[in-house]
Chain A
Amino acid sequence: MAEKRAESQPVLEIRNLKVNFSTYKGIVKALNGVDLKLYSREVLALVGESGCGKSVTAQTLIGLLPENASILEGEMILNGKNLTKKSKEEMRMLRAQAIAIVFQDPMTFLNPVLTIETQLEEVFMLQKNLLREAVAIQKAEGDVKFADLIKAKSAGSSQTDKGASKKETKKVAKKLSIDLLRMVKLPDPKRILKQYPFELSGGMRQRAMIAMAFARRPSLFIADEITTALDVTIQAQILHLLKGLRDRIDASTLMITHDLSVAAEVADRIAVMYGGNIVETALTRALFRKPFHPYTQMLLRAIPNILNPVERLESIPGTVPEMINPPPGCRFHPRCPHAMEICKGERPKLLEVEKKHEVACYLY
């Protein structure tokens, strides 16, 4: 299934993206030419250790870089539109519709003084077209489900009811809210609509955030470490939910995580990041079966595996590169056991070594 998806056109393409941060210590070269493609309806996991630039990539995509950051080079193309050329206001509209993001800590992104109902309603009110479509379906069929709207969007056959009254739209919005909460498997959605974020547990808040993200019918869904703050049993629930929703929501997912095991559970494809570069991308199975890049190989041997216990774990010598004065050439070369003279010169390009398996390393 995953293989089939990857055949289609990329929904998102990032080309040679470079982002710098100016700090009082110097210029932090956070992204050093990131190349990434995300295909329609696939789940791509962006994996790396802290400081590798995975969250900066997400921030750049949604146009929420802090003031001291600047995009030096590169472009990001979402559905044929170049995001790097958008104004602040245009990016804001995109965040309201095409791109949705869920972060690690839902409590910082939910408004503590508004009920879940008000917050979901706000999302809908920003999307007049979606509501008008919903009213049209409601009138034609007597009932409306969120799934119908997704279907209408992917078929491109949306009918809108321009004369919908405010009362009608509000009623439809509530109906859709309940349906969405049911989709993310929150028990008793009617009661939850009336509750405030503090009344929900961590897992439930994350589900509510996911519901709000999907309420926009986004074409790009970014999940930034969404299970990191959760317990394992709750994490398993959320991952299971994401797997189940993937086929019902017409969106491509960019999943950012530091945990290779989590990526193994849900991703179709994995991109490994190191020091501001993508060093390897492959289909999930291929990456675990035959990792090419020395960093990926070492990283896989550094995680304890219950299925294959070892007496000693392999650790990667040295530390994550300092991004103010990063090592020249391949940023991994000071820690790499296979480093050659050429690695210190120019940065290796991401090249396809096997079908759908790209590696940035001079060994191949």
Chain B
Amino acid sequence: MSEAKRSSSSVPEGAVAPGERESRLRAWARDRIGWDDLVHLAAKKRVPVHRYTIFYYLGGMALFLFLVQVATGILLLLYYRPSAAEAFESVQYMMADVPFGWLIRSIHSWGANLFVGVVFAHLISVFFLKAYGAPREMTWVTGTVLLFLALGFGFSGYLLPWNTLAFFATKVGTDVPAQIPGIGHLLSRILRGGSDVSGATLSRFYGIHVAILPAVTTLLLGAHLLLVQRHGMSVPRSVEGKSRRTIPFVPDFLMRDMVGWLAAVGLLAALAAFFPWELGVKADPFASAPAGIRPEWYFLWMFQGLKYLPSKIAGIPGETLGVLFFSILAAALVAVPWLDRRGKRGVAVAAVVVLVGAAVLTVLALLPVPSPAKP
């Protein structure tokens, strides 16, 4: 049979036809990495089609932005120097002298914000579509922990350029754990690598940002994706009985995903070109804190909330109660699948209250600070 085929084709003797080369490659891959199983798995995966399908794209978008962060972060590592003496200057050098250094840094900074925003949106959509119900509890848990890790990336990365704003915002941020009774001060010291924010904090945050968090995130992300693959896409109850239409993940859904990813790349490029991420002024630990210091937008509601709390509530420091409240909120978020077992509306109502409260506090924190009256 193969002899007949070879004689009928125009391929010269000794040469390999393109189709045959492909089949040889596939055979090689099949024998070594089980390629056919992967193709089968991809072909088996299907995505439900209904009026909420658009929310399925948020997970893919978050994954894509995470990969952008990994790629740009690795490039930044080639020039960044993690010490109080050189960090600022190395970023300055990247922004001014390294070809396309400005682009990589700006994309990394803007990308971080988009990533956190998309992760939030993904979480909110999964929450309101109640996709955390059995058997997807662990998918939800890994997702919420991934959100906390994303916030950890944002917090640790904010200090790395070692500018005034980041320095003082980190000072405020690392003061927050100190409010926890008993172990608070120890936690704050561990975070800072000393009693105050210093070069030791920078080294520590660098290690957390480029080694510890990526390792933990990779493991959890793997688990999260595996669970999504294991349980398939959740269909909201409101549309469950109405339609059972699906499309294949590869290539139908993936191609649609890619449209979003290309748009995200365009948006990041535009932001980097028109609004390059500012570097500011080098941190001076001996200078007084400048007016209007504040953390990244996703921490603003907590920052503002702690500011509004009275110094004492029933004899307990207000900030301690605030930190306790945020800790309970985080624990409740992780435990949502178990808190919402009876399918009542209480959890959803509480979530709406928290979201509206957080939005109001964020807006209040973004309002311009009135300048002090001149004497």
A binds B: no
Which B positions have Cβ atoms within 8 angstroms of A? Answer: none
Which A positions have Cβ atoms within 8 angstroms of B? Answer: none
